[in-house]
Structures are given as structure tokens and as C-alpha cells.
């Protein structure tokens, strides 16, 4: 018998469907062929070929394998000479691996039997092999996955030859699969042909995630090794609402997600119609809808979605990405870009709010707080590190001449802190004045109200601040003493808890009769369920993730102030968050029935909606927005 017996592990059958859970970075559902980018940005141009092309592709494979083997052979000789035998043996193995008759026959079989292109077939066999290596519980074998990856890239380069295409010139819609995408890559990608992103690394606030949301492209990040699990051209589903990626889905799964995709798009279209309309209530009161953003690139999208300005520009991202602190110039440029992009719309810039869950690598000292949420974070940190803080403030002040800027300090608990922060700002102003550097001397100075202490003393603060922005996420956390990131207590976290609402009401009342403007940022502001309540409590400015603006606007336009005030009065009588929630649900259902939706909830995320509906049917309490993707907490 000439050939050895067929080993049980040779890939012959189509690979089974795999489902991976990552972090929901940008909502929506995408279904399509994958385009796997490695560091050299290869793409597999065609997945299947015409039967007449089969011999050409088999030949292409053979030539590529032989060319790769020779290349590695030369590397082996060079490595033996320069680096010694240890390194050479690795190349010797690669050489033998590329020449492995099993490898060739497996790929050939996929080409001849399934009319896969040579590149796609090779990618399939290699990623299947990588998966097998990983599945064996042997550290040595798992290390070898890297060798496989190396081999795969080498041979693909030979197979594709001049067919390698520039990823900025895509010709068909694809789902981008990559280890990471830099912002400039993401922006330069041909948007029209990108259906979605599936990314190995990152979190909800990574640049990648922000840009995907900005572009309105579904994305899942933190998938681990999706780049090795998926081969180019394989069908993928990206559910950016729920953070799920499915590779090689079966027909039933495709149908299921297809339905979700259509639902999501229908919803988006409906809300899109609101973009050009004012956020005015039925009785003629105009509500300012502002956007929470993190990078300058988000501004045009926010404006397009109907933002009247930037209610919260989080400056942390500048500090989080890099191991070094950003220079004054780098900060200035980012701040200036936001102001320029916003045109004559107001921009509220918040001084760096780092600590607790977010700590810059450059700022992390050896010291760790036992209780970081109550520790040295945010403004407290800044007031202890005045050099860094002053550089930050200089950059802000220098940028202030470019538009309608307002400055806001986060995490204030005492009047003294606010005074200290303002004194530091005055110092910096004096320095700039002496240096003859222009800045706006009349820059309005406001503060976040996110601690119960600040809310309770709002009347005192109102004498010293030009405006308040109520940060409901942290305010809820500190009022209820619940770390919402801690799953064992997260069920106790609800912004509609009567205690939190009483504090919000107190802050709004403290501004009455004074020239202090008050707005609300945080997830409450972007949640339609709360819109009428917030208006009823007297708020007229809401700042939210840009994508939430249309849904909130829809509610604003469907209600009137007396109705909102009735709702606020009713709610103020409740003792439990459950009562508040049930009441608000009934109220919003009424609005939605008038709008002709009649499905009970307004959320751009159908899946979250279904989950919530299921929960409410079971009579469980639920926090709005959990499970929803979207803008981060505006802590």
C-alpha cells in the first residue's frame, strides 16, 4: 500500500460552527465573508472558483509550496551559519512541514472537491490544524501554533503573489477579522464594503470600538484568537449588540441572525428620519440634546445624529493608550480638533477622570488603593500631581480660543476641592497671560455632580460653579454603595432608585433662580425610559452617547412638559425602584403606542429588548440598558 492509512484527523468535512463571546463594541448585526488581516494585511480574494479553474489552483498550490520550501531551506542554511543549529532546526522543521504530503493532499482535496480557491483552501487547512494543536493539552504543541501561523503566511504570500490586494480597495462586502485595528487603519478602510469587525483585543473604550460605533459598523472586540480561528472567506456573523461572533454558521443560525439584522436596521431607519427634526416637546419646549464623546473623530457623527453640542468630552483616552503621558502639544491638538469640529456648538470638556477602573500606564505607581473607587482618583489625583494637571489645563486653555468651550471638573466632594481646582486653573491662566499665549479668560467653569456630598451641598456649589453636570452612573454607585462592576451586588444598582432620584431633584432645584445651568450625563440621559421623568424633574439638557440621541429625541417630540411633570410627581411618591420602573414602563408604553410601535420598549437593540421583555414577563426587576452595548458610563 503506497500511501499510509488515512488518519482520523484529516480535515475532510466542513468545519463545525463555532461561537465566540467577546465584548459588544458597536451594535448591529453583520453577516458575510471574513477578511482576515494579519500584520501584512493579506486578504484572500476569492473563496470559491469555477470548476474549470481547479487544475490551475492545484498547480498554483504546488508551485507555492515548493517555492516556500526552498525559501525556508535557504533560511535554514543561513540560520545554521549565523545563529547556530538550534534556530536552524526550526526552519528545517518548517521545511519538512511544508513538504508534508498530508498537507498537500488535504488542501488539494478542498480545491478539487469543494472548488475552494488555493489560498482559501490552504487557509482552511492551516487554521484547522492550528485549532487541533491548541486542542491537545500539551504546552509544546500549543507553542507550535506560532510556527503554523508563520508557515501559513509564507505559503499564502506565494499563493497570492500579485493577487494580494490593498485592503483600502475592497471590491466586495467583508467582515474584517484582525488582531487589532489602528484608528488610522479603521478610518482609511473602505467603509462601503465593511460589514463588521471581529477583533482579538480591546474593550468598549478602545479606539477601535469608538471608531466602529462612530462609523455605525457592528463590532465585537476582545475575542482572544479569532484571527487564528477563522480563515479568509469563511462566513461569519458579528452580533455587535450582544458581543457574539459565529464562524461557519449553519443555515438556521444565519436565518436567526438575519432576522435580528433586519430588525436592527428597521429601527435605525425609523430613528434616522428624526435627524433633521428639532427636539421640541408637543407644547413647544426645546430640549438640548448633547453628545458624550471621547475622540475628536466622533464629533461629525454626533452632529449628524442630531447633537446640539458636546455635553461631555472625556479626555481620558489620550492618557490611557500610551505608556507615556501625552505632551501639552498632543493634548492641545486633540482638544482643538474637537472644538473646530463642533463649530459654534458648545463643548463641555472634562478634565482627566482617571483612577478606579481606568488608570494610565504612565500614572500607575507602585501604590494600589484597596478600594479604588473611594481612593486616589480623578480630580483628587490631579490635585496631588500638579505638574501633570497644569500641563493638562494649559492645553485646554490654549484650545479654548477655537470655539465655545466650557470646562468641567469631575469627582468633586467638597467645596474646598472645587476652590483648589479653580485656583490651579487661575495659576495656569496667569502663566499663559505672562507668556502672551491667547486663551479665553471668561471660560465657564462647571463641575460634575456625582457624589452624594456634592448633590446635598448643591446650593453651596451653585454659588461657585457656572454649571452642573449630573453624572448619574457614579452618583448611583456612591449613593447606593454598589460597585456595578461587581456582579455579586450589581443587581442592587439602579439609577431609578428613589434615593438617587431625590438627589437629582435636589440638584436641579438648587439651580433654580440662579444662573447655573444643569445638565445630566450618564446612561440615564440616553435611556428613553427615563426621558419624561428627567424633563419632569426640570432638566432641559441631556448628554448621551451619540447613538442614543434619535431614540431620546423621539420621546421628547412625543410628550409635553405637563405630562412629564405629572410623571415626576408620581415617581417622587414611590419608595422602591421596582415601583419606579413599572410606572415608567407603563408611561413609555403609552407613548410608544401613540408612535405606532406598540412593542413596549424603545431601544436600538432588539436583542436587549427581547431579553428585557422576557425578564419583565417573568416579573423580575431589570435595569434598563444592561446588556445593551453602546456608550460607556459617563462616570
Partner 1 sequence: MAVEREVIIPNKEGLHFRPIMQFVDVAQRYQAGVTVHCEDRSADGRSPMEMLMLVATQGSKVRVVADGADAGELLEALASLVESGFGEA
Examine the residue annotation and report whether 491 is marked as an active-site residue of this protein: no
For residues 32 and 176, give the distance between their C-alpha atoms in angstroms, rounded to a whole number.
10
Considering beta carbons, is residue 97 or 116 the nearer one to partner 1? Answer: 97
Tell me phi and psi for residue 632, to 5 degrees: -75, 170
Considering beta carbons, is residue 99 or 254 the nearer one to partner 1? Answer: 99
Q: Smallest distance from the beta carbon of 66 to partner 1, in angstroms?
A: 16
- Asked if residues 445 and 424 have their Cβ atoms less than 8 Å apart, the reply is no
For residues 450 and 473, give the distance between their C-alpha atoms in angstroms, rounded to a whole number.
8
Q: Smallest distance from the beta carbon of 145 to partner 1, in angstroms?
A: 11
What is the maximal distance between C-alpha atoms in the chain? 97
Residue ranges in 83-117 assigned as alpha helix (H): 85-98, 101-114
Exposure class string for 35-45: b at 16+ Cβ within 10 A, else e: bbbbeeebbbb
- Asked if residues 127 and 230 have their Cβ atoms less than 8 Å apart, the reply is yes
Considering 57, 264, 402, 521, which one is annotated as catalytic? 521
Q: Smallest distance from the beta carbon of 41 to partner 1, in angstroms?
A: 27
Considering beta carbons, is residue 81 or 140 the nearer one to partner 1? Answer: 140
Beta-carbon contacts of residue 408 (< 8 Å; ≥ 6 apart)? 312, 348, 349, 350, 351, 445, 446, 447, 448, 467, 469
Q: Smallest distance from the beta carbon of 494 to partner 1, in angstroms?
A: 52
Q: Smallest distance from the beta carbon of 62 to partner 1, in angstroms?
A: 17
Q: Smallest distance from the beta carbon of 100 to partner 1, in angstroms?
A: 5
For residues 610 and 603, give the distance between their C-alpha atoms in angstroms, rounded to a whole number.
10
Question: DSSP state, 382?
Answer: H
Q: Please, what is the Cα angle at 205 between 468 and 146, to 5 degrees? A: 165
Sheet holding 194-199, edge to edge: 18-21, 244-247, 235-239, 29-36, 174-178, 194-199, 219-221, 23-26
Packing angle of the helix pair 118-135, 54-82 (nearest 10 deg): 50
Could you list the beta-strand ranges (E) of 380-473.
404-409, 445-449, 467-471
Considering beta carbons, is residue 6 or 364 the nearer one to partner 1? Answer: 6
The cell numbers describing 379, all together, are: 480630580
Q: Smallest distance from the beta carbon of 128 to partner 1, in angstroms?
A: 11
Binding footprint of partner 1 on the chain (CB under 8 A) = 1-5, 7-9, 89-90, 92-93, 96-97, 100-103, 129, 132-133, 136, 138, 140-141, 144
For residues 372 and 357, give the distance between their C-alpha atoms in angstroms, rounded to a whole number.
8
Considering beta carbons, is residue 123 or 528 the nearer one to partner 1? Answer: 123
Q: Smallest distance from the beta carbon of 10 to partner 1, in angstroms?
A: 8
Q: Smallest distance from the beta carbon of 621 to partner 1, in angstroms?
A: 51
Question: DSSP state, 241?
Answer: T
Considering beta carbons, is residue 9 or 191 the nearer one to partner 1? Answer: 9
Considering beta carbons, is residue 76 or 609 the nearer one to partner 1? Answer: 76
Considering 46, 94, 207, 496, which one is annotated as catalytic? 207
The cell numbers describing 176, all together, are: 474584517
Neighbours of 286 (CB within 10 A): 12
For residues 395 and 407, give the distance between their C-alpha atoms in angstroms, rounded to a whole number.
12
Q: To the nearest 10°, the Cα dihedral for 541, 547, 548, 549?
A: 40
For residues 28 and 546, give the distance between their C-alpha atoms in angstroms, rounded to a whole number.
15
Q: Which 3 state secondary structure label does DSSP give 36?
A: strand
Q: Please, what is the Cα angle at 372 between 448 and 326, to 5 degrees? A: 65
- Asked if residues 471 and 410 have their Cβ atoms less than 8 Å apart, the reply is yes
Examine the residue annotation and report whether 563 is marked as an active-site residue of this protein: no
Considering beta carbons, is residue 102 or 585 the nearer one to partner 1? Answer: 102
Which residue from 323, 42, 299 is spatially nearest to 161, judged by alpha carbons?
42
Q: Smallest distance from the beta carbon of 228 to partner 1, in angstroms?
A: 16
Bridge partner list, 246: 19, 237
Q: What does the chain come to in residues?
A: 635
Considering beta carbons, is residue 126 or 287 the nearer one to partner 1? Answer: 126
Considering beta carbons, is residue 97 or 120 the nearer one to partner 1? Answer: 97
Q: Smallest distance from the beta carbon of 107 to partner 1, in angstroms?
A: 12
Considering beta carbons, is residue 89 or 374 the nearer one to partner 1? Answer: 89
Tell me phi and psi for residue 163, to 5 degrees: -75, -10
Q: What are the catalytic residues?
A: 207, 521
Amino acid at each position: 500500500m503506497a500511501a499510509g492509512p488515512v488518519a482520523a484527523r484529516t480535515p475532510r468535512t466542513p468545519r463545525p460552527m463555532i461561537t465566540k463571546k467577546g465584548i459588544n463594541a458597536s451594535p448591529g448585526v453583520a453577516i458575510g465573508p471574513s477578511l482576515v488581516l494579519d500584520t501584512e494585511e493579506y486578504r484572500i480574494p476569492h473563496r470559491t472558483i469555477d470548476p474549470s479553474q481547479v487544475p490551475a489552483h492545484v498547480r498554483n498550490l504546488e508551485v507555492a509550496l515548493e517555492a516556500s520550501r526552498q525559501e525556508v531551506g535557504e533560511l535554514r542554511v543561513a540560520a545554521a551559519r549565523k545563529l547556530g543549529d538550534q534556530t536552524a532546526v526550526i526552519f528545517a522543521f518548517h521545511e519538512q512541514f511544508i513538504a508534508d504530503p498530508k498537507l498537500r493532499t488535504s488542501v488539494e482535496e478542498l480545491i478539487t472537491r469543494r472548488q475552494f480557491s488555493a489560498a482559501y483552501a490552504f487557509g482552511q487547512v492551516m487554521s484547522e490544524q492550528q485549532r487541533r494543536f491548541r486542542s491537545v493539552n500539551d504546552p509544546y504543541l500549543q507553542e507550535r501554533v506560532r510556527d503554523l501561523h508563520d508557515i501559513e503566511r509564507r505559503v499564502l504570500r506565494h499563493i497570492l503573489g500579485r493577487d494580494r490586494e490593498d485592503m483600502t480597495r475592497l471590491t466586495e462586502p467583508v467582515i474584517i477579522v484582525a488582531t487589532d485595528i489602528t484608528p488610522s487603519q479603521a478610518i482609511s478602510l473602505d467603509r462601503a464594503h465593511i460589514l463588521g469587525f471581529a477583533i482579538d483585543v480591546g474593550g468598549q473604550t478602545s479606539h477601535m470600538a469608538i471608531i466602529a460605533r462612530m462609523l455605525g459598523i457592528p463590532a465585537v472586540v476582545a475575542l482572544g484568537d479569532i484571527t487564528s480561528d477563522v480563515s479568509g472567506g469563511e462566513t461569519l456573523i458579528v452580533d455587535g449588540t450582544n458581543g457574539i461572533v459565529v464562524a461557519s454558521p449553519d443555515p438556521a443560525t444565519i436565518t436567526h441572525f438575519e432576522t435580528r439584522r433586519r430588525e436592527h436596521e428597521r429601527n435605525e431607519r425609523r430613528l434616522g428620519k428624526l435627524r433633521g427634526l428639532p427636539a421640541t416637546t408637543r407644547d413647544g419646549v426645546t430640549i438640548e440634546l448633547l453628545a458624550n464623546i471621547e475622540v475628536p473623530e466622533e464629533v461629525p457623527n454626533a452632529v449628524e445624529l442630531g447633537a446640539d453640542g458636546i455635553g461631555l468630552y472625556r479626555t481620558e483616552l489620550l492618557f490611557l493608550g500610551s505608556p507615556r503621558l501625552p505632551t501639552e502639544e498632543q493634548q492641545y491638538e486633540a482638544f482643538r480638533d474637537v472644538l473646530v469640529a463642533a463649530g459654534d456648538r458648545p463643548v463641555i470638556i472634562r478634565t482627566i477622570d482617571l483612577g478606579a477602573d481606568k488608570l494610565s500606564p504612565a500614572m500607575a505607581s507602585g501604590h494600589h488603593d484597596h478600594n479604588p473607587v473611594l481612593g486616589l482618583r480623578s480630580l483628587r489625583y490631579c490635585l496631588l500631581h500638579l505638574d501633570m494637571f497644569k500641563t493638562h489645563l494649559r492645553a485646554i486653555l490654549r484650545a479654548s480660543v477655537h470655539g465655545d468651550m466650557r470646562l468641567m471638573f469631575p469627582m468633586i466632594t467638597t467645596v474646598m476641592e472645587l476652590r483648589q481646582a479653580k485656583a490651579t486653573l487661575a495659576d495656569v491662566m496667569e502663566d499663559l497671560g505672562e507668556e502672551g499665549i491667547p486663551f479665553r479668560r471668561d471660560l465657564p467653569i462647571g463641575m460634575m455632580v456625582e457624589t452624594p456630598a456634592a448633590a446635598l451641598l448643591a446650593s453651596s456649589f451653585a454659588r461657585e460653579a457656572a454649571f452642573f453636570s449630573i453624572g448619574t452612573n457614579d452618583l448611583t454607585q456612591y449613593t447606593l454603595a454598589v460597585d456595578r462592576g461587581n456582579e455579586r451586588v450589581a443587581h442592587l444598582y439602579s439609577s431609578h432608585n428613589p434615593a438617587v432620584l431625590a438627589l437629582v431633584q435636589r440638584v436641579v432645584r438648587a439651580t433654580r433662580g440662579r444662573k447655573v445651568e444643569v445638565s445630566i450625563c450618564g446612561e440615564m440621559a440616553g435611556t428613553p425610559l427615563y426621558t419624561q421623568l428627567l424633563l419632569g424633574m426640570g432638566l432641559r439638557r441631556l448628554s448621551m452617547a451619540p447613538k442614543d440621541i434619535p431614540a431620546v429625541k423621539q420621546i421628547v417630540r412625543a410628550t409635553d412638559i405637563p405630562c412629564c411633570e405629572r410623571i415626576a410627581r408620581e415617581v417622587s411618591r414611590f419608595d422602591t425602584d421596582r415601583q419606579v420602573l413599572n410606572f415608567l414602563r407603563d408611561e413609555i408604553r403609552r407613548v410608544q403606542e401613540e408612535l405606532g410601535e406598540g412593542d413596549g420598549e424603545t431601544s436600538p437593540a432588539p436583542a436587549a429588548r427581547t431579553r428585557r421583555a422576557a425578564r419583565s414577563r417573568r416579573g423580575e426587576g431589570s435595569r434598563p440598558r444592561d446588556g445593551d452595548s453602546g456608550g460607556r458610563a459617563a462616570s
